[in-house]
Structures are given as C-alpha cells and as structure tokens.
Structure 1
Amino acid sequence: MQTIMIVEDDPKIAEHLQTYIKKYGYQVELVTAFNDVMGLFHSVKPDLVLLDINLPSYDGYYWCRQIRQVSTCPVIFISARVGEMDQVMALENGGDDFITKPFNSEIVMAKIRSQLRRAYGEYAQKAKERSLEAEGLKLFPERLEISYGSEKSYLSKKESDMLEVLINRHPRVAGREDLLEKLWDDQAYVDENTLNVNVTRVRKKLLALGVKDGVETIRGVGYRLRLPNTGADTR
C-alpha cells in the first residue's frame, strides 16, 4: 500500500484530504509536529507528499528543500497562494506540481495518481538505475548521491542536475545555457546570481569529498568540472 504524507496546518483541510484519499486505498499520514516534518518523513518513508506553503515554524519551500536532500519522491504543493511567482518558487524549490485552494478533490486525486504512476509505474520499476562517472567521481541521479573514492555525499535535486551536465560535458566546458536548460524550465525567471549560488553549493559538496576547486569558471562561456586526474585544457 502506497503512503501519502500530508503537511497541512488547517485541520479541516488535512482531515478532508485524509478521508478522501483513504477511500482510494492509500495509507495517509498527517503531520502534526510542524517543527519536525522530516521526523515523520524519515519514519513513514512516504511515496508522495502533499505540502502547504504557509506553515508554522518553516514554510513549505523550506521543507521541500529538506525532502530533496534525501528523496526524489513526488511533492505536490497545495496552497491558497495563486501568484505566478508562488508557483515558480514551488517548482524551483523541488516541487513536482501545484494545486491552488479551494481545490476539487477529484483533481487532487488525479494529480496524485499521475505523479505516482510517473515515479513508480511499470516503466519506472523496470528502469535500470542510472549512474555517471568522470575521473572516479560517480553520480547516482535517482539516489541524489555523489561519491569520490571512499567518500560520498547527498545532493539536492538541482545540485544533482548541475553535476549531471558537468559530468556529461567533462572535460569540456558546460555552457551557461546548458545548465539553465537542465535546471530551470523557464530561464526568464533566473538571473546570473541564482546560477552562481547553485555553482557555489556544488563546489562545497565536491570539497566535502576532497575535490578542491571542483568547478572551474570559464568567463563568458560557462563552467567545467575540474578533477585531480583531468588532463590538459580541452575546451
């Protein structure tokens, strides 16, 4: 039985969703300790999360980022916020879909089923786990995990996407446009600083593995993965 975790601080909405989803044969877990969402997440290991934005302690964007540190399970935001930037923020912080309140319960259920099929359906179950490697650096996108020698580290979804581009292009340069296309569907919402922030995060993850200055900036072009065994300049 698949498990749906609901992170919603309005008890009436949470209980309504719980009752409705249970009718379709799913197990449902409600978060009640909103300062420790990840505690329940690690305990029940849900197959999908329904996540509100306006929450006590930390907002839904924060909790989605925390989930993406350890899991690729589908996350559907449900919020009264209707602005375009709210939806952009939800997707940019790791969400898979966005539903506005008030919502139609049948649409919520249809979106849940769609995301579950996409993540765990027939083809997903049969698919062989992907892995990428460059000079001993190994990336496992489905696990959001990177390893180098005996060291390993977990990644956010965007860190994993960025490293996937860099490894695929290694030892060549990954253009700025290549990275933006992989990380964001709509480049119009992304400025140079946002990309730089993500590059800095990837550098820190590589440094934790013992790879110093692992992402080299090629001014006016993009970025290149720089590993200890990399040979001469091959732009």
Structure 2
Amino acid sequence: MYNIMIVEDDVKLGILMKNHIEKYGYEVCVVNDFLNIKGEFIKNNPQIVLMDINLPFYDGFYWCRDIRTLSNVPIIFISSRESDMDQVMAIENGGDDYITKPFSYDLLMAKIKSVIRRVYGSYSESTNNEMFEVNGLFIYINQNVVEFNKKNIELSKKEFQLLYCLLKNVNKIVSRETLLEVLWNDIDFVDDNTLSVNITRLRKRLEELDIIDVIETKRGQGYRIIDNWKI
C-alpha cells in the first residue's frame, strides 16, 4: 500500500484528487499546514508527493528542496504554470515529473503508476530509503547522514551504527557489550578502549551540529544518549 501526500492549497481540488486516487487502493493524505510541509512529510512518511508550485508562504520549489534534505522520495509537480522554464526549475529543484493544470485524472494516475514502477518496482535500483528521527534529529540509514536544525554531516559507518544504536535506546543505558556487538562481530578480539575511542569521535562529530554533551558515560555499565538537543 503506497502512501501519497498531496500539497495543494486549492482545497476543492485537493479533495477531488484524494478521492480519485483512493479508488485505486492508495492511502492519501492532504496537507493543511503550509508553514510546516516538511513536518507533515515526516509525520506521514509518503512514498510519493504531489506538489503544487503556487503555495502560501513558500512555493513548491522551496519545499521540494527542503524535502530533498531528508529523502529522495518521488515528487511530482502539479501546476497551472505552463512555461518550459517552470518545468526546468521543477527538475533542477529536485522534482521527478510535472503535470500542467487542468489535467485528466487518467494522466495523473498514469504518472503515479509510472513513478512507482520506476522507483519502487522492477526498474528500481533500491527501495530502501529509511529515515529515523528523535526530537528533530534525523538520521538517514542508507546514507550515514545525520541532520539537525538544517545542518547535516556524513558519519563513518561505525560512527553511524553507534549513534543509531544509542538513539534507538534514547535516555536508556546501553551496555558496552551491546555496543561492541553492534560494531564488531567478534568482540573477543576487540580492545575495550576501541569503543571509547569511537564514542569520543562521535561526540566530536555531533558537536559539528551544535549538539554537545549528550552522550553520557555510565562507568561500569555503558553509555546513554540524552535528548537535550530539543529545538
């Protein structure tokens, strides 16, 4: 079941699109908060976004770029703008396709099915675009990327695995043995100091995102990450 998010400020059109798409078995959500489209995207976790260009506050190009900091999810622009330049801008800002208003629902469904086949179906190279979030701190599992407050960094594989394990247990102590098993298959041949070195490196990397003193050492037990980075 694919989830499709509609970003359209024409309420009537948004409802008509939703009702039609749902007939084909898709789940559909329609955005109402045009100041927080990125937040709506995170909450709904759609597989496709249908994005109008002329929106309140910020245009669709802006929100497309913003979503691209999180995900490569397909974004289809739907707009009354007909110029070649608008379509070029849509592509350059991260869009995958473009439909001009007024449009037929047959065309809309053909575009949706086409992008599903290309991205998630037999033509796709990868269908895994997992994202994990804790209080505004985003980690992108396929990319080893961490984002906070519009800034992002790319971690090494071990730094990323370490952070992911800690975040899945946020505010809880994770034993040294558990962390060692996450990072190395055979912990019998790993110097215990190696974990301490990797924790130190991770702390320094998080400081690049202005996230400071969040990983606590629990002597004789392990480590804990505390979520005091809340925005």
| Within-5 A mapping of 1:123-138 | 123-124=123-124
Does the alignment pair 1:70 with 2:70?
yes
Q: Secondary structure at the match of 2:38?
A: helix
Residue 46 (structure 1) shift: 0.1
Which position in structure 1 is the counterpart of 2:154? 147
Residue 127 (structure 1) shift: 7.5
> Aligned pair in 2 of structure 1 residues 61, 141: CA closer, same or farther (>3 Å)?
farther
Which amino acid in the other structure matches residue 63 of structure 2?
W
Which position in structure 2 is the counterpart of 1:20? 20
Residue 38 (structure 1) shift: 1.0
Which position in structure 1 is the counterpart of 2:39? 39
- The 2-side partners of 1:109 and 1:126 are apart by 23
- The 1-side partners of 2:3 and 2:123 are apart by 20
- The 1-side partners of 2:54 and 2:126 are apart by 37
Q: Secondary structure at the match of 2:53?
A: coil
- The 2-side partners of 1:27 and 1:127 are apart by 18
- The 2-side partners of 1:86 and 1:19 are apart by 28
- The 2-side partners of 1:30 and 1:128 are apart by 24
Residue 57 (structure 1) shift: 0.7
Q: Secondary structure at the match of 2:9?
A: coil
Q: Are 1:4 and 1:26, in contact at CA under 8 Å, matched by a contact in 2? A: yes
Q: Secondary structure at the match of 1:122?
A: coil
> Aligned pair in 2 of structure 1 residues 121, 32: CA closer, same or farther (>3 Å)?
same
Does the alignment pair 1:51 with 2:51?
yes
Say how many residue pairs are matched. Answer: 144
> Aligned pair in 2 of structure 1 residues 67, 144: CA closer, same or farther (>3 Å)?
farther
TM-score w.r.t. length of structure 1: 0.56
Report which of the two structures shows the higher radius of gyration computed on alpha carbons: 2
Residue 39 (structure 1) shift: 1.2
- The 1-side partners of 2:42 and 2:35 are apart by 14
Which amino acid in the other structure matches residue 121 of structure 2?
G
> Aligned pair in 2 of structure 1 residues 126, 4: CA closer, same or farther (>3 Å)?
closer
User: Identical aligned pairs, as a percentage?
Assistant: 51
Q: Secondary structure at the match of 1:124?
A: coil
What are the Cα deviations for residues 69-108 of structure 1, in whole angstroms up to 9, with x where unaligned? Answer: 0111100000000011000000000000000000011000
Residue 55 (structure 1) shift: 0.1
Which position in structure 2 is the counterpart of 1:116? 116
Q: Are 1:69 and 1:144, in contact at CA under 8 Å, matched by a contact in 2? A: no
TM-score w.r.t. length of structure 2: 0.57
